[in-house]
Structure 1
Amino acid sequence: MGAGGMDLDLEFAPRDAAAHPPALAPIYRSTLLRAPRQPLLSLRSTLTEITGPIFGESELDPIDADLTRNHARDGDPIGERITLHGRVLDGDARAVPGVLVEIWQANAGGRYRHTNDSFTAAIDPNFGGCGRVITDAEGRYRFRTIRPGPYPFPNRENDWRPAHIHYSVFGQGFSQRLITQSYFEGDPLIARDAILGTMPDVAARQRLVATLDMEASAPFEALAWRFDIVLRGRGASRFESVA
């Protein structure tokens, strides 16, 4: 056993860069403008980046993980209520406790609560579209929310994003952050999505799809969807391109 109780004889599985979306992918038009043209530089992390932040339960409101309540003003948000849950794991399927998981999403009509979102769908005054939670001792997280709607985006002539939810997962420092998104099993728009289509590995795309979990669903209340996040190893969730 190594420091911190880690097994030093475990096989190290390096990240497969070929499975991640390339910075430049013509099918996703905006990468033509923002993909780097010069080789990337590797910069040393500062002490702040590798030692903070440290998140505690006391910093979160009890309803931060309930998107059906945390922005409600004078009623309930519109749309299908769902439970979104899963575990944060490392490459050897061990739980990663105490990490901050944040999500943000469009409302049931496919509209973000953002000044730059010009989609004609209505803003829901009772839905903010964001939440956060800290994983428990078993690496579990759980959100109650509204199933987001698809929306068009300016790419090809008639491109629509499938319903999806964005995630930010913080590790033990600012430099340890995963930004990704999950889709919903059975959505026919997944196969047509230009952004997801930038990923060359079909199996890696499938790992971004949340699966219907009837056992965790609440009868007469909400269906449940499960999405496990793997931080490192062969089964790792893909990083969203930030180039």
Structure 2
Amino acid sequence: MSHDGPFYQRDRDWHSPAFTPGYKTSILRSPQRALLSIENTLSEMTGPVFGRDILGPRDNDLITNFGGTGEAIGQRLIVYGRVLDENGRGLPGVLVEFWQANAGGRYRHHKEGYRAALDPNFGGCGRAITDQDGGYHFRTIKPGAYPWPNRVNDWRPAHIHFSIFGEAFAQRLITQMYFEGDPMIWQCPIVGTIPSREAIETLVAALDRQATTHMDALAYKFDIVLRGRRQTMFENKLEGH
């Protein structure tokens, strides 16, 4: 389904400022000149279209999609939700990609500096395509917290990264999901760039005991909003219009 007409402008006061010195990498990547506002172009308001034929049978199962016959170690989770447009409409056919650290807080990356062990059965990435109501889901393990070279003793709370490609290029979104009840959320310099507690709470997935799998996995619900005045937070980087 294609979008008919220009998208709503984003509310810049809702999102993080591009320049936030407490988050070191924002210093060099923030714009040095005034921003320009231009109308949506046709190419931004159309495409791409993703089909389910691009998915492998275990792309949305991070517990089993890397290790062959083995399974990832950690607290087993189901993450689910809906991808919505700026008017609250569920968006079908949206490509949702996700990646994360393992249960010890380590990424499978050749430049990883954290000393936690790798899990031989956990690759840390997957993808899904939303159904007719905008729904998505995947299985994974709960990622661990980890230190990072921002300031002395800065740690990231447990989180999962998301990349969402909506029904048009102007709906591209990269964000992070946190877990309800984690006290480290409120100590994180990246989270601290977001102007309001209300906005931060849109990134916190709610524990849903009714959606758990008996004797297997807890469930967390995380809805994602593309564009509009209450778009899900973009990762402290200016994007689009």
Q: Same fold (TM over 0.5)?
A: yes
Code of the aligned partner of 1:184: F
1:165 correspondence with 2:155 = no
With 23-32 and 184-193 compared, the bigger mean Cα shift is at 23-32
Local SS of the residue matching 1:18? coil
Q: Distance in 2 between matches of 1:81 and 1:183?
A: 16
Alignment of 1:4-153 (within 5 A): 14-41=9-36, 50-153=45-148
1:40, CA displacement in angstroms?
Answer: 3.7
- Identical-residue share of aligned pairs (%): 56
How many matched pairs?
237
Structure 2: how far apart are the matches of 1:142 and 1:60? Answer: 13
Match of 1:239 in 2: 234
1:156 match: 151
CA distance in 2, matches of 1:42, 1:116: 37
Alignment partner of 2:13: what SS? helix
Between the aligned partners of 2:27 and 2:232, the Cα distance in structure 1 is 24
Equivalent position of 2:176 in the other structure = 181
Aligned partner letter, 1:242: K
Q: Unpaired runs of 5+ in structure 2?
A: none
1:215 is aligned to 2:210: yes
1:92-151 CA-partner distances (Å, limit 9, x unpaired):
221111100000111111111111211101111111111100000111000100110000
* Amino acid in the other structure paired with 2:231: A
Deviations 1:45-98 (A, max 9, x none): 887665443210111112100011111135211111100000011222211111
Check 1:69–1:134 CA distance in 2 against 1; reply closer, same or farther (3 A cut).
same
Q: In the TM superposition, what is the alpha-carbon distance from 1:232 to its structure 2 partner?
A: 3.0
The structural deviation recorded for 1:14 is: 4.4
Counterpart Cα distance in 1 of 2:51 and 2:28: 39
Q: CA RMSD in A?
A: 2.5
The residue type paired with residue 222 of structure 1 is: A
On the 8 A contact 1:167/1:179 being kept in 2, the answer is: yes
* Contact in 2 for aligned 1:53/1:172 (Cα 8 Å): yes
Instruction: Give the aligned residue type for 2:96.
Output: V
* Paired residue secondary structure (2:160): strand
After superposition, where does 1:193-208 map in structure 2 within 5 Å? 193-208=188-203
Residues 1:234 and 1:42: Cα distance change in structure 2 (over 3 Å)? closer
Tell which deviates more after alignment, 91-100 or 103-112.
91-100
- SS at the partner of 1:181? strand
Q: 1:130-188 CA deviation, whole Å, 9 max, x = no partner?
A: 11000001110001001100000111111100000011110234443111111000001
Whole-angstrom distance in 2 between the partners of 1:54 and 1:19? 29
Could you state the TM-score of these two structures normalised by the residue count of structure 1? 0.89
